């Protein structure tokens, strides 16, 4: 459910980014979109943990993973690693990006990113989860280089290729690949907590 909601949100924002009114909407609501997404994902994670507890408490074997048979710390650890950790890790990475991109942008005379790109990048990182954010960065670099090469050959001169729309569409691609193509690979399972 969280994956589907993430894909829908990122796709809608990507489509909106092509219109002036859509870009204005994104610019005006960037913080709200980011923090509402973070809040929604964590509320959903609590709901999933509650559902897991409920399923285990009524199951013939599952009840042995809960008190009084086992300490509650087992369930809390299970919930933390299986439900919360992927988004907690990507949340920390997204906060680092949210703080680091403005510093990088100022260092280069505010020529790298537009103001709302910080939140688009952070939102994209957060919604890809862990280990999806690692693949997200790799795919972003490859797509950016391909876009830059295309621009170079098309324009016959070196031009700046903005990341504005790439943040979102690469996140959609990363989430889709992570959910359907990479999730059963040994590399994904190795990186997953």
Q: Are 66 and 73 in contact (CB under 8 A)?
A: no
* pTM, to two decimals: 0.91
As for how many domains the chain has, the answer is 1
CA-wise closest residue to 57 among 43, 40, 75, 45: 75
pLDDT tens digits, one per residue of 36-51 = 999 999 999 999 999 9
Query: Which class for 7: exposed (0-12), middle (13-18), buried (19 or more C-beta within 10 A)?
Result: middle
Question: What is the 3-state secondary structure of 9-40?
Answer: HHHHHHHHCCCHHHHHHHHHHHHHHHHHHHHH
pLDDT tens digits, one per residue of 80-121 = 999 999 999 999 999 999 999 999 999 999 988 998 999 999
Instruction: Give the domain range for residue 127.
Output: 2-191
On the question of pLDDT at 157 being above 80, the answer is: no
Q: Which residues contact 28 (CB under 8 A, 6 or more apart)?
A: none
């Amino acid at each position: 459910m969280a994956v589907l909601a993430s894909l829908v949100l990122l796709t809608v924002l990507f489509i909106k980014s092509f219109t002036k009114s859509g870009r204005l909407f994104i610019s005006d609501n960037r913080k709200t979109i980011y923090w509402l997404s973070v809040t929604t994902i964590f509320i959903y994670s609590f709901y999933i943990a509650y559902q897991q507890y409920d399923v285990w408490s009524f199951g013939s074997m599952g009840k042995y993973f809960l008190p009084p048979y086992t300490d509650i710390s087992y369930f809390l650890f299970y919930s933390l690693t299986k439900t919360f950790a992927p988004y907690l890790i990507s949340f920390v990475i997204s906060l680092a990006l949210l703080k680091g991109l403005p510093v990088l942008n100022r260092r280069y005379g505010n020529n790298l990113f537009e103001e709302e790109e910080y939140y688009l990048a952070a939102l994209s990182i957060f919604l890809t989860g862990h280990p999806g954010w690692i693949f997200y960065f790799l795919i972003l670099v490859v797509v950016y280089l391909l876009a830059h090469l295309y621009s170079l050959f098309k324009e016959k001169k070196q031009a700046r290729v903005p990341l504005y729309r790439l943040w979102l569409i690469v996140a959609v691609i990363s989430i889709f690949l992570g959910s359907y193509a990479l999730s059963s690979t040994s590399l994904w399972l190795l990186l997953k907590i």
